[in-house]
Amino acid sequence: MLKLESVTKAYGQLRALKEVSLQVDAGEWLSVMGPSGSGKTTLMNLVGCLDTPTSGKVLLDGYDLGTATGRELTRIRRETVGLIFQRFHLIPHLNAVENIMVAQYYHSLPDEREALAALERVGLAERAKHLPHQLSGGEQQRVCVARALINYPKLVLADEPTGNLDEDNEQRVLDFFGQLHAEGTTLIVVTHDPKVAALGERLIVLDHGRIA
Amino acid sequence: MARKSPAARKLFRHMLLASLLRRRSRALIAALAVTVGATTLTALASISLDLDAQLSRQLRSYGANLVVTAENGRLSAADVPSFAAALNGAEVAGESSYRYEIAQVRQQGLPVVAIDPQTVFSVRPYWSVLGELPEGNQVLVGRDIAEAMQLSPGATMTLTAMDSPADPAPQSPAPSTAAPVPANEARVQVVGTLSTGGAEDGQLVITQALAAELFGDPGAIDLVEFSVVAGTEDLTVIAERTQAAVGGSQAEPVKRLASAEAKVQNTLNSMLAVVSIVVLALTAITVATTMLALVAERQTEIALKKALGATNGDVRREFLTEGLLLGIIGGLVGTLAGVGLAALVSFQVFGRELTISWPLLPASVLGSVLVAVAAGYPPVRRAASVSPAIVLRGE
Ligand SMILES: Nc1ncnc2c1ncn2[C@@H]1O[C@H](COP(=O)(O)OP(=O)(O)O)[C@@H](O)[C@H]1O
Ligand SMILES: [Mg+2]
């Protein structure tokens, strides 16, 4: 599913990732830990086709991301990856269901019924017409999860998804990850919380841009 | 990708409107810039397009701009319709004819001009008459003569025709020195004094009917004046055509007036051009900076959309459409306001209703849209170049 071969990502002089090699099989649940600034987000950006490596190879679902054009990266990201952020990132002027439909829009076609069904799945059916600022943090993150799943991605990337959540909402989100995993979705979850990390099948720890 | 489904279009429209509404103060500034630009330019263009005609008409108040005389001898009143016919097409604001003679009054030879009181003001609106224009056996006395002879309205005098016709040129009021041969006489009454600051101040003004009685030769005229609404070039052509209409006639445009007219128009037009360029530049700058600010504010949103699969083309399309929308709104409002402003100015300054140039309206709306889109291009490019990676980085 995913293979990194000696991947380096440099920001000017600073090398955020140093010759990282990693393989993730389809359906695997990988946890990523590491101190702040160790390169976790950089890794997610590369894997999520949001950025390209300075050197080394990133192979995702059979595509070599290092040689792909921007347009191809966009297409691979759209078709393959679902993203969940620590800071939710909902579009402030669109309501919950519209935020989900935006993901459908850029992927293929918006379908309100399907978007509503996804909201129902995360327990927010009656909040569909609320704007993000009218939702609690946990509710916003659940919208974000519904959005990440709406296009049935093969790979879900979550960068500290529960970092800003209370325990109740954290549990709900983690339950979803369990469901996704059961459905065969590949999961990579960055976290500071050993409890969350323990849910994965495998754990890697980054330190100063290397896998420890 | 197929984005043509109604649901997709609906969402696209909603995303756009919601985002503009959310930033309505900025959107308003950009739309207002386009509105002000369109208002100013439409008003200027409307006035400018209408100005040639307006100005020409205004300058007609300074009198005739086409003068027809005989090459040798005299013209006849019967020629006048032919001249008028030769002007066909051009708008004729005034027309009048004159006959020049010499008459003896109190042993003194004085130039006499016979006029048509019905039409003289149409080409000599600057005539300032104290009293009335002459009728029948009446005379209007030039200011200098009135002073020298101490004539005031109500006074009478005897006009005695002198044989030789005067020099037909109106500018030479000097009495003929040829041996006076007294002919018919007429007892006339002074009805007013005339002051123009020109040759007429030393002339006696009578009707053409009285001139025919005194001097014979009915229908003889020496000069026809026209006031034609036309530019310098047109006027030269019209003069040639008029001259060709009657053999032995000579038609001359009054150059001084015509070229003054052209000069005023050129000056105004270049001033309008300068103002237009400045207004265009200001509009473009305001739209560009406002949209740049919009893009800067929305970096995360753009990055998020890209992370969700939006292509650079998608992002460009959204911002261009926003620019387009601002352009259309600003253009429509501005064009209407501009025409209104032009009509107001036209009414206040020229005292006349504006002739609206209809093709200007769509042109102005289209121009506004083009300016808005062109000014939006640098911000749009910046928007498309936002990296999706920033979305995971937080703020
Ligand atoms: N766009 C960037 N430009 C320069 N340096 C960056 C950029 N992004 C990340 N870095 C640096 O790269 C290192 C790794 O960052 P990051 O991957 O965000 O760490 P983590 O997510 O593990 O906290 C940090 O030192 C960070 O300052
Ligand atoms: Mg991070």
Summarised one tens digit per residue, pLDDT across range B176-210 is 554 444 458 899 999 999 998 888 899 999 999 99
Cβ distance A51 to B389 under 8 Å? yes
Fold of A2-211: Rossmann fold (3.40.50)
pLDDT in tens, B311-343: 999 999 999 998 899 899 999 999 999 999 989
Closest residue CA from atom 6 of ligand 1: A11
- Across the interface, whether the CB atoms of B19 and A93 are under 8 A apart is answered yes
Mutate to test the interface with B, among A102, A143, A157, A164 (most CBs of B within 10 A): A102
The residues that bridge with B75 in the sheet, in sequence order, are B221
Cβ distance B19 to A93 under 8 Å? yes
pTM of the model: 0.70
- Across the interface, whether the CB atoms of A74 and B305 are under 8 A apart is answered no
Using a CB-CB distance cutoff of 8 angstroms, which residues of chain B are in contact with residue A83? 307-308, 391-392
- Across the interface, whether the CB atoms of B388 and A50 are under 8 A apart is answered yes
Domain ranges of chain A: 2-211
* Count, residues in chain B: 395
Q: Nearest C-alpha of chain B: how many angstroms from A19?
A: 20
Neighbours of ion ligand 2 (CB under 5 A): A 41
Closest residue CA from atom 2 of ligand 1: A11
Residue B325, number of CB atoms within 10 A of its CB: 19
Nearest by Cα to B345 from B54, B107, B81, B80: B54
ipTM of the complex: 0.94
In this complex, the residue of B8, B21, B392 whose CB is nearest that of residue A105 is: B8
Cα dihedral sign for B156, B162, B167, B172? negative
- Residue-level pLDDT, tens digit, chain B, 395 residues: 445 688 899 999 999 999 888 888 888 988 999 999 999 988 888 888 777 666 666 665 567 888 999 988 899 988 888 888 888 777 888 899 999 999 999 888 999 999 999 999 888 888 889 999 999 999 999 999 999 999 989 999 999 987 654 444 444 444 555 444 445 889 999 999 999 888 889 999 999 999 998 988 888 999 999 988 776 667 888 888 888 888 888 888 886 666 676 777 788 888 888 988 999 899 999 989 988 998 898 889 999 999 999 999 999 999 999 889 989 999 999 999 999 998 998 888 877 788 888 888 999 999 999 999 999 899 999 999 999 988 877 64
Mutate to test the interface with A, among B299, B312, B318, B392 (most CBs of A within 10 A): B392
Give the ligand with the smallest distance to the CA of A17.
Answer: 1
| Burial class of residue A84 (count of CB atoms within 10 Å of its CB; 0-12, 13-18, 19+) | buried
Q: Nearest C-alpha of chain B: how many angstroms from A107?
A: 6
The answer to whether residue B179 neighbours chain A at the CB level (below 8 Å) is no
- Across the interface, whether the CB atoms of B8 and A110 are under 8 A apart is answered yes
* Helix, strand, coil tally for chain B in percent (to 5): 55, 20, 25
Q: How many angstroms separate the CA atoms of B38 and B334, rounded?
A: 5
Give the ligand with the smallest distance to the CA of A20.
Answer: 1
Q: How many angstroms separate the CA atoms of A127 and B148, rounded?
A: 103
| Burial class of residue A147 (count of CB atoms within 10 Å of its CB; 0-12, 13-18, 19+) | buried
